[in-house]
């Protein structure tokens, strides 16, 4: 069954048959442009709109059409691998790498600067180089990113798979954390986004993962950029032992009190006393101090809570 794109292509080819004495070179140009558009378009409706524009004498180019794929918006950088194709010139097709100088080697035209450009912008620059060098009259170039090594971010700290991950213009912090296997059980509820400031330093944004929809800890933007780093810190913890059901170390929740800490540890055993609870805490001078604890006292990082036996 003939699909919409094929049907439209056939209709265009039959507007004026090539063998007809009325055939004009412009018709061939329109046909060639349609074939180029058909190769790049995925949706029949969009292709139909572009076809109508061509038949009406418009000068719509495939590179100017809306691109749904994020890789078409990624900026090229050193180390990226791209496939270069020139319509009607199969011998010029090749896979090239963006050099440290930011250039790619284009057949006939030589080195062309593409670093910092999107693939669409790079296509236009390569076409200009081929045209200015009088190698081709009206070149149509397609660049496809096959491997992106320049658009990466680092994920460090309390994640299951720390490392470097590719990003595109739509990648968020949650996307990258998912790629890194998620956060560990001992991770905090916030992360730090470290971003180079262009002056040799970096800015640090504290992002509350429980309030990404808004709040005082929200970063100016959650969309990642190349060279960003995400640091997932270890959650603050406290220790509890003595006459509790489950003595162990636990993470501190915001606003946690001594009573809540004891409840999280399974509660006090029959031998324990809620009146004989003490906290061992690091003082301002770095030395440990031991003091009695009330149920409503806040638990601080690295506190050691002891529930003693009842004396009766």
pLDDT at residue 225 in the model: 83
- Each residue's pLDDT expressed in tens, for the chain with a length of 312 residues: 444 445 444 444 444 444 444 444 444 444 444 454 444 444 444 445 444 544 444 443 433 333 345 555 678 888 889 999 999 999 999 999 999 899 999 999 999 999 989 999 999 999 999 999 999 999 999 999 888 888 889 999 999 999 999 887 788 888 899 999 999 988 998 999 999 887 888 899 899 887 654 544 444 446 788 889 999 999 999 999 999 999 999 999 889 999 999 999 999 999 999 999 999 999 888 899 999 999 999 999 999 999 999 887
Q: Are 37 and 64 in contact (CB under 8 A)?
A: no
Q: Are 145 and 80 in contact (CB under 8 A)?
A: yes
Helix axis angle, 4-13 relative to 25-40, nearest 10°?
Answer: 170
d(CA 175, CA 70): 14
Rg (CA), the chain: 32
pLDDT at residue 70 in the model: 52
pLDDT at residue 136 in the model: 94
d(CA 143, CA 36): 13
CATH class of 70-147: alpha beta
Phi, psi (5° rounding) for residue 205?
Answer: -115, 130
Specify the 3-state DSSP secondary structure of 54. Answer: helix
Total-model pTM? 0.56
| Three-point CA angle 131, 132, 134, nearest 5° | 65
pLDDT at residue 5 in the model: 45
Q: Is 216 exposed, middle or buried (0-12, 13-18, 19+ CB in 10 A)?
A: exposed
Residues 6+ apart with CB under 8 A from 137: 131
State the pairing for strand pair 103-106/110-113. antiparallel
Q: Give the CATH fold of the 237-309 domain.
A: Outer membrane lipoprotein wza fold like (3.10.560)
- Judge if 70-147 and 152-232 fold alike in CATH terms: no
Sign of the dihedral defined by the CA atoms of residues 173, 174, 179, 182, in that order: positive
pLDDT at residue 164 in the model: 92
Residue 302's closest CA among 283, 275, 276, 277? 283
Sign of the dihedral defined by the CA atoms of residues 292, 296, 300, 305, in that order: positive
Q: Give the CATH fold of the 152-232 domain.
A: Outer membrane lipoprotein wza fold like (3.10.560)
Q: Are 11 and 31 in contact (CB under 8 A)?
A: no
H or E segment to which residue 121 belongs: helix 119-132
291 bridge partner residues: 279
Residue 212's closest CA among 221, 203, 204, 199? 221
pLDDT at residue 198 in the model: 75
pLDDT at residue 106 in the model: 95
pLDDT at residue 40 in the model: 47
Q: Are 56 and 12 in contact (CB under 8 A)?
A: no
Residues 6+ apart with CB under 8 A from 289: 280, 281, 282, 283
- Kindly tell me the number of DSSP H helices and DSSP E strands found in the chain: 6, 15
CA distances from 219 to 98, 212, 231 (A): 32, 9, 14
Q: Where are the domains of the chain?
A: 4-64, 70-147, 152-232, 237-309
């Amino acid at each position: 069954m003939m699909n919409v794109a094929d049907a439209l292509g056939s209709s265009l080819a039959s507007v004026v048959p090539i063998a007809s004495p009325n055939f004009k070179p412009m018709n061939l140009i329109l046909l060639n442009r349609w074939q180029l558009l058909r190769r790049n378009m995925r949706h029949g409706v969009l292709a139909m709109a572009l076809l109508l524009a061509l038949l009406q004498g418009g000068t719509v180019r495939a590179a100017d059409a809306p691109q749904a794929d994020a890789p078409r918006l990624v900026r090229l950088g050193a180390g990226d691998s791209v496939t270069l194709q020139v319509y009607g010139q199969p011998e010029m097709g090749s896979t090239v790498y963006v050099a440290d100088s930011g250039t790619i080697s284009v057949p006939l035209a030589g080195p062309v600067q593409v670093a910092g450009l999107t693939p669409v912008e790079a296509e236009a620059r390569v076409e200009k180089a081929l045209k200015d060098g009088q190698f081709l009259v009206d070149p149509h170039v397609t660049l496809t990113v096959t491997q992106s090594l320049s658009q990466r971010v680092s994920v460090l700290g309390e994640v299951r798979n720390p490392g470097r991950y590719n990003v595109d213009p739509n990648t968020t912090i949650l996307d990258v954390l998912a790629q890194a296997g998620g956060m560990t059980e001992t991770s905090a509820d916030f992360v730090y986004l470290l971003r180079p400031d262009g002056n040799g330093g970096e800015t640090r944004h504290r992002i509350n993962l429980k309030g990404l929809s808004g709040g005082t800890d929200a970063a100016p933007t959650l969309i990642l950029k190349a060279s960003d780093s995400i640091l997932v810190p270890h959650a603050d913890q406290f220790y509890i032992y003595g006459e509790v059901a489950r003595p162990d170390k636990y993470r501190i929740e915001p606003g946690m009190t001594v009573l809540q800490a004891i409840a999280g540890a399974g509660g006090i055993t029959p031998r324990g006393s809620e009146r004989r609870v003490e906290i061992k805490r690091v003082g301002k001078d770095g030395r440990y101090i031991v003091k009695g604890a009330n149920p409503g006292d806040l638990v601080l990082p690295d506190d050691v809570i002891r529930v003693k036996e009842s004396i009766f």
